[in-house]
Structure 1
Amino acid sequence: MKAKAAVWSCALVLAAAGAAQAAEDSARPKTLSEESKTCLTCHKDINQGMYQQWGANKHYGANVGCYECHKAEKGDKDAMEHNGLTISVIVSPKDCARCHAKEVEEFEGSHHSKAGQIMGSLDNTLAEVVEGNKGMKTQAFPNGVSAAAVNGCWQCHGNVVQVLPGGKLDPATWPNSGIGRINPDGSEGSCAACHSRHNFSAAQARNPENCGKCHMGPDHPQIEIYNESKHGIAFYANKDKMNLNSAKWIVGEDYSAAPTCATCHMSATKDMPTNHNVGLRIKWNNRPAISKETHTVDAGWGLESAKITGDERRANMKKVCISCHNVNFTDNFFVQYEELMKLYHEKFAKPGIALYDAATKVLKAVKGKEYVQFGQAIDFTWYEIWHHEGRRARHGAAMMAPDYTHWHGTYEVAKHWAAKYIPELKEVIEMGKASANKEAVTAAEELEQLLTETLESDNHKWMLGKEDQADKAERAKRAEEFKAKYAK
């Protein structure tokens, strides 16, 4: 029965794909439009790279040219007159939806589409104030904007594209292919963030490096983690077997050598179609100090996908896993992953947040109006513990990269907790107690009590020399056995 159900499910997926393909075929232009031919008279010479890229992709074969993508209406905010045609420089998801409606609808319902709304986050505050200044002045930003935000945050997350008179785009906001770019037509996102213009290659989007433009670095090193993992090792050893140019690219059918980011997060399986909402197979969002179930985060953004629970998303991901692994392997992996999350949350994140909030209360009472976040070392210490090291530990476990889980993750968390965070908390306590402000003294005493309770807990009493003696003796015995082996 299971075999029959699998065949029937696969048939439904292929039938739906066939129907969509038939609809797409019927909508294709029969010939290249006169407007696009006009564009090419110049651009094939002055933009040879673009011309060659377009000529090598499926748009060319489908008679979809420059004008079909760049055409605009005279009333459009970013419309401009160009050699007798009304066009827009930006091709937004709304434009792509003329032909790719399903893909755009899925993307617009994803967390990716909201990435441009980072502007009020703590990360952007760092780029604007701590790292930057208002030295970059443009027509759209006469009072200045931070070049650190423009060249850093906005290029991955996106930004609000500002249109100047005549349809030109402000240099602070363009060029930009951030995944959550907010376009002049009101749409969110950039299809070119993954499908680089003007080739728009599906094969390129399926390569892990494509995601690595943004998903890398100290706070979310997914590409580095992938490269270290068994999945990444298998991919680079067998790239010639990946069939990346396949039209349907179903794991276990068109390829089986290795998965890429796309395989796990959005590409087709034998019983699931491709979906451009990359969060529908992710149960946990590891961005916050304490992980949240992804559907609850989607609810905060008002996304329809909030209706799809974390357990449903986990079930979707397991369908991908069992394309290559057995059920026992898959189930056990998720146990390991969530136990690592639990360790990080209980030992560091939850007490760390409570201690930081209590320390901040002391600092605000002592400094008054002079208090600013990131104005003291403890702000950076706690931020890096959860935002960098805690994330690395969780992401590493989620993607089976042990070195990132341990040495770049939990080790860094523990080192900075013991060697920096606890000593800095003690300094804040002393600062508060020495203050003439009674509110600061009271807050410092509360922080001291909380720190004492934290250090006396089973997770941290080792720092006070109070580790369980039986555990300590067992570890000492193993240490002696280890030394004896190396002494031979």
Structure 2
Amino acid sequence: MIVRKNIITHAAGVALVSLFLLLQSGITNARPTGQVGVDWGEKAGLGCVKCHMTETPGLYHQWNESQHGQSGVNCLDCHQAEKTDKDAFMHEDELISVIVSPKDCSKCHPTEFNEFHRSHHSNAAEILGSLDNLLGEVLGGPEAVTGGCKKCHGNKVEIDEQGKPTLETWPNTGIGRINPDGSRGSCSACHARHSFSRAQARTPDTCGKCHMGPDHPHIEVYNESKHGIMYRANIDKMNLESDKWVVGVDYSVAPTCTTCHMGAAPYIAKTHDVGERISWNLRTPISKKINLIRLDNGYQYDLPEGEPLPKVGEKPNDPKAKGGTVTEVMTWKDRRANMETVCHGCHVSSTVKGHYKQFDDLVNLYNNKFAKPIAAIVEELKKDGHLTAAPFDEKLEWVWWEIWHHEGRRARHGSAMSGPDYTWWHGMYEVVKHTYFSFIPELKKLVGKKEADRLLTKYFKPIEGHAWYFNGLGQEALDEVRQGYEERYGKGSFK
């Protein structure tokens, strides 16, 4: 017994030492590479500092109190331009650029740049060619898109004849901004200039600037979740300024968005690739689990479950590969395992497995009971000429759009982030209501009752969950509701 106890104690000690070494060596916050005064610390930049102390004192104080300021990184280290730069112009005898792009930041933060470059965030401006953008640009108006969509997703920054960004395209800190140097993204979307605070980037409010609203209410879901409640109650214990910031080690009272999608945990390093741990696509009309294909050209793309996976070393015949060769394949199970590793920083296995079981079940309910049959009906209507090829010109399309783009997304994301009200009342309840009392009535108006009944019988009736619509609730179900209602509110209260 003593020998066994000693063995266990020794094994536990080895594990703790290994974990300590891992946390000390592999998981640290990024700092500028190179030597101060050599790789950064331009002497001419001291003139910028002296001027901005009085001209823009707020900007100066933000910089001076930042890690950049305290490390000797000055204005010219970030803003100095080359003659060949499209956005270069002379300012106080120095050639500078207003825009500090991710490519500029990569001189000191190459790892973060490479991770961000391949991520969903850097591709956010691709919405400019989507239905969302068509809805905004045409039905709303370009000015609404500039002031709304592009502030989060990013725009293409245009440069005038003086080398300065045009007023129509600047300022913009959209996460997928297309910069004059060809790089994509804006580091200051999360690390707001000129403090570039890691603590601020780790707070849920930073993500909530864009991840909110009727179609992706992530900050609202987080705030109602147990995680969000615990965060607000214990924010002083979050250790947000920590270099390592390893969940379960440097803090344990609550996770933030950054914790789950980017943060370090025991046995997994931090990342600026925000999609690396996502195993479902919750944005599309019908959700699918997604594998991740990484390429030697710095790009990556999602491949839905069921499609053939390329092998490492192959050149996929897919435009999303942009001619690259596969360097890594992460299945949806690999991605989920990454997220589960973060969860295990605070939770036992049964809690993590239970969450994912309930989450998967909700997504499958949405998919199979509502999204797939409705999508099939819409597709048949288009094929038969009842709907035009143009989007948004018929009410039925609007109803379907909101079912998946608003209510369906809210339900799926609510379940993913443990927000019960968004899973049901703002999510599935709205899906149910608009399916039965908006989509179906509009379907009958569009094609007539006979054809509508045919379509519903074909696509809805085989699904057990729709039995009540065809057969009624049934006396047994009504009696059960009546009994519970009258027990609470008195006999005869259920009408």
Which TM-score band applies after superposition, normalised by the shorter structure? 0.7 to 0.9
Q: From the superposition, tell whether residues 459 and 18 of structure 1 become closer, same or farther in structure 2 (CA, over 3 Å).
A: closer
TM-score of the superposed pair, with normalisation by structure 2 = 0.86
Q: Does 1:100 align with 2:109?
A: yes
Equivalent-residue separation in structure 2 for 1:3 and 1:280 (angstroms): 32
String of CA shifts for 1:151-203, please: whole Å, max 9, x gaps: 11111111111111121112222111111111111111110010000000000
Q: Deviations over 1:29-52 (max 9, x none)?
A: 378432211212322222111111
Q: Deviations over 1:361-414 (max 9, x none)?
A: 45567x7xxx63212211211100000000000000000010010000000000
The question of 1:40 aligning with 2:45 is answered: no
Separation in structure 2 between the aligned mates of residue 157 and residue 396 of structure 1, nearest angstrom: 22
**Equivalent residue, structure 2, for 1:408:** 426
* Contact 1:362/1:428, CA 8 A, preserved across alignment: no
Identity %: 47
Contact map agreement 2:265 2:345 (CA 8 A) in 1 = yes
Could you state the TM-score of these two structures normalised by the residue count of structure 1?
A: 0.87
Cα distance, 1:331–1:290 mapped onto 2, change above 3 Å: same
Q: Which residue of 1 aligns with 2:35?
A: 27
Cα distance in 2, alignment partners of residues 49 and 190 from structure 1: 21
CA distance in 2, matches of 1:315, 1:305: 20
Q: Counterpart amino acid of 2:404?
A: W
Number of residue equivalences: 453
Partner of 1:436: none
Counterpart of 1:14 (choices 17, 24, 33) is 24
Q: What secondary structure is seen at the aligned counterpart in 2 of 1:325? A: coil
Conservation of the 8 A alpha-carbon contact between 1:206 and 1:244 = yes
Q: For residue 484 of structure 1, what is the aligned residue in structure 2?
A: 487
Q: How does 1:63-78 map to 2 (within 5 A)?
A: 63-78=72-87
Provide the rounded CA distance (Å) in 2 between the counterparts of 1:282 and 1:57.
32
Q: Is the 8 A contact 1:178 1:189 kept in 2?
A: yes
Partner of 2:59: 50
The alignment status of 1:298 with 2:302, answered yes or no, reads yes
Counterpart contact for 1:363–1:428, Cα < 8 Å: no
In structure 2, C-alpha distance between the alignment counterparts of 1:115 and 1:394, rounded to whole Å: 21
Task: Please give the alpha-carbon distance, in whole angstroms, between the structure 2 residues aligned to 1:221 and 1:93.
Answer: 27
Q: 1:92 to 1:26 in 2, by over 3 A?
A: closer
Aligned partners of 1:161 and 1:174 also within 8 Å: yes
From 235, 241, 245, the equivalent of 1:239 is: 235
Partners in 1 of 2:401 and 2:202 — Cα distance? 33
| Counterpart amino acid of residue 237 in structure 1 | A
Q: Contact 1:395 / 1:405 at 8 angstroms: preserved in 2?
A: yes
Measured in 2, the distance between the counterparts of 1:46 and 1:412 equals: 53
Is 1:463 matched with 2:469? yes
2 CA distance for matches of 1:397 and 1:305? Answer: 33
User: Which residue is 2:138 aligned to?
Assistant: 129
Instruction: Give the gaps of 5 or more residues in structure 1.
Output: 133-145, 434-443
Alignment of 1:138-217 (within 5 A): 146-217=142-213
Q: Measure how far apart 1:335 and its partner are.
A: 0.1
Q: Is the 8 A contact 2:222 2:419 kept in 1?
A: yes
In the alignment, which residue of structure 2 is the partner of 1:344? 366
Q: How far apart in 2 are the matches of 1:400 and 1:2? A: 33
Kept in 2: contact 1:111–1:298 (CA 8 A): no
Partner residue of 2:219?
A: 223
Q: 1:326 to 1:18 in 2, by over 3 A?
A: closer
SS at match of 2:302: helix
Distance 1:40 1:85 in 2: 13
In the alignment, which residue of structure 1 is the partner of 2:444?
Answer: 426
Is 1:380 aligned to residue 386 of structure 2? no
Distance 2:36 2:479 in 1: 73
Q: For 2:241, what is the secondary structure of its paired residue? A: coil
Instruction: Tell me which amino acid in the other structure corresponds to 2:490.
Output: A
How far apart, in 2, do the equivalents of 1:478 and 1:401 lie? 26
Matched to 2:56, the amino acid is N
The CA RMSD measured in Å over matched residues stands at: 2.4
Task: State the Cα distance separating 1:448 from its structure 2 match.
Answer: 5.2
Farther-moved stretch of structure 1 (242-251 vs 192-201):
242-251
From 281, 284, 290, give the equivalent of 1:285: 281
The answer as to whether partners of 2:221 and 2:419 remain within 8 angstroms in 1 is: yes
> 1:27: Cα distance to partner?
2.8
Residues 1:325 and 2:347 are matched in the alignment: yes
Name the structure where helix makes up a greater proportion of residues: 1
Counterparts of 2:444 and 2:405 in 1: how far apart (Å)? Answer: 22
CA contact 2:136–2:145 (8 Å) conserved in 1: yes
Give the 3-state SS of the residue equivalent to 1:456 in structure 2: coil
1:110 and 1:305 in contact (8 A); partners too: no
| CA gap 1:481/1:407 in 2 versus in 1, 3 angstroms | closer
- Give the secondary-structure state (helix, strand or coil) at the position aligned to 1:27: coil
| Structure 2 CA distance for aligned equivalents of residues 333 and 305 of structure 1 | 32
The aligned residue for residue 5 of structure 2 is none
